[in-house]
Amino acid sequence: MYIVNSYALAIILCFVTMLCWGSWANTQKLAQKSWRYELFYWDYVIGIVLMSLIFAFTLGSLGSQGRSFPEDLAQAGMRPLGNAFLGGIVFNAANILVAAAISIAGMSVAFPVGIGIALVLGVVINYLATPQGNPFWLFTGIALITMAIILDAAAYRKKAVQSSKIPAKGILLSVTGGILMALFYRFVASSMAPVYETPEAGLLTPYTAVFIFSLGIFASNFIFNTLIMKRPFEGSTVPLRDYFRGAAREHFTGILGGMIWCTGMMFSIIAAGKAGYAISYGLGQGATLVAALWGVFIWKEFKGSKGTSGMLTAMFALFLAGLALVIYAGTVG
């Protein structure tokens, strides 16, 4: 299987993760014009499973290092398989809430609030489990990112007050989804061998872990998304038959969104072998910055809002400084 052998390459892959995790929601925004997010989400989950299989039978089965995907799957223990699967269930519950928040409140609030909370809590959880990197610089960077999140939320609130529309439900969904989102990565990490080159018997390699994780998402979607379709957070009930009436373009958009997100997840997990889980997860969740850029400059979610430009500029500056410190933390041990 393919293994990352340098910290510099690991950081590059973490930035790809950041781009993927911060950009997949654009597919939801595109589909939202004619396609309820509950219907979009079925295809999104299918895209995650498909992409995990593509990685498993390509990067996960090539080369002489570690174990190939079929070999690794055959020797996997029940506990590691269960942890990776549980990670998928927790992620799915969190992501459905964040996706609902995006449809209600927009990317520029759902991502900074939801994923921002996930970043802070997730880094703490993963660092306590496997300490790697200098804690002073790591948590200083996280503190700056937290300040950026607060600024972004304040800017959105200012915009909402000006438009006389404060979507409290969207903010609540973002917060709840963010707390759950902070937990899923640890379950997946605990299922894997700490050394990818010589994986311990019974534990999983990254490619197998992500595939089992994707199955957890897929299986739980029949419960979570079915419930949301019957009792949506906003709007009327969504009949399942509507999914089969969707156009090919609508289905493809959702699948593409899932494939983009899964690419980010895969790169984050394989980068963690060199960068450590806390740094890899933290940089990936810098997706908040990417999503905010999309929301501000492409979707114009702050268009016409007075007094928010300075807050947004400060937010971006704090995010960049925080991300730089997180990267530096991995170089000084």
Is the pLDDT at 162 greater than 90? The verdict is no
Q: How confident is the model at residue 211 (pLDDT cuts 50, 70, 90)?
A: very high
CA distance from start to end of the chain: 27
Beta carbons of 282 and 271 less than 8 angstroms apart: no
Residues in the chain: 333
Q: Which pLDDT value is given to residue 253?
A: 94
The single residue listed with the structure tokens 């800017």 is 155
> What distance in Å separates the CA atoms of residue 99 and residue 38, rounded to the nearest whole number?
9
CA distances in angstroms from 323 to 68, 124, 181, 228, 276, listed in the order given: 33, 15, 19, 35, 15
> 98-112, 114-128, 306-320: lowest mean pLDDT where?
98-112
> 71-80, 229-238, 244-253, 304-313: lowest mean pLDDT where?
304-313
pLDDT tens-digit map of 27-45: 988 887 788 889 999 999 9
Q: Which pLDDT value is given to residue 106?
A: 66
pLDDT tens-digit map of 100-122: 887 777 666 676 778 778 888 99
Q: Which pLDDT value is given to residue 165?
A: 58
Beta carbons of 300 and 39 less than 8 angstroms apart: no
The pTM of this model reads 0.89
CA angle, 85 then 268 then 270, to 5°: 85
Q: Which pLDDT value is given to residue 85?
A: 98
